[in-house]
Structure 1
Amino acid sequence: MAHTVRQKEKLIARIRRIKGQLEGVERALEAEAACAEVLRQIASVRGAVSGLTVEVMEDHLREHVLAAGTDAERRQGGEEMIEVIRTYMK
């Protein structure tokens, strides 16, 4: 996937922020923080993961569907995205 290589540093930085958020949830649980605080932190993690997912999906569509060189490549890129969406929606 060429687009993930081009965006590698940006994507890794997002992953590191998400890891930090997850560690924050872990610390909150260990510290027996209030449920509402833990839930807010979990919601933040979920939003961050969703944002990352959308970004990679968008890049995939742009690279492997919209900018595909052939109809076969476009079809393959579309089928890959359908599979990912089905998995994501479960």
Structure 2
Amino acid sequence: MLNNLNGLVSLDPVLHLTVGPVIRIKSPISNFTHMLHSRYKSKEDLNAHSVHPDHQRVVKEHVVPICDDIMAVDWVADNEPTPLSPPPVLPSK
């Protein structure tokens, strides 16, 4: 699942995409184990990604069969000229 989702970074409207396990303390209000973070230039680009055949295939073949629940949170942030990708995580010493 992770490899297939991370592979969607190559689609045209995607500026940034990463997916992996959530590092957290067990919560009584949430059992989510993984998070996908992606960025797009516009809401239209997000919508184009959502209906892209490759995205639809990955979700259908590699996500839905093994997931109990999926939650999506989308928002529009008008924060030009700041970078649209988070900085790389540096290893701790």
Q: Same fold (TM over 0.5)?
A: no
Q: Whose relative contact order is higher, 1 or 2, with alpha carbons under 8 Å and at least 6 apart?
A: 2
Decide which structure has greater strand share: 2
Q: Which has the larger radius of gyration?
A: 1
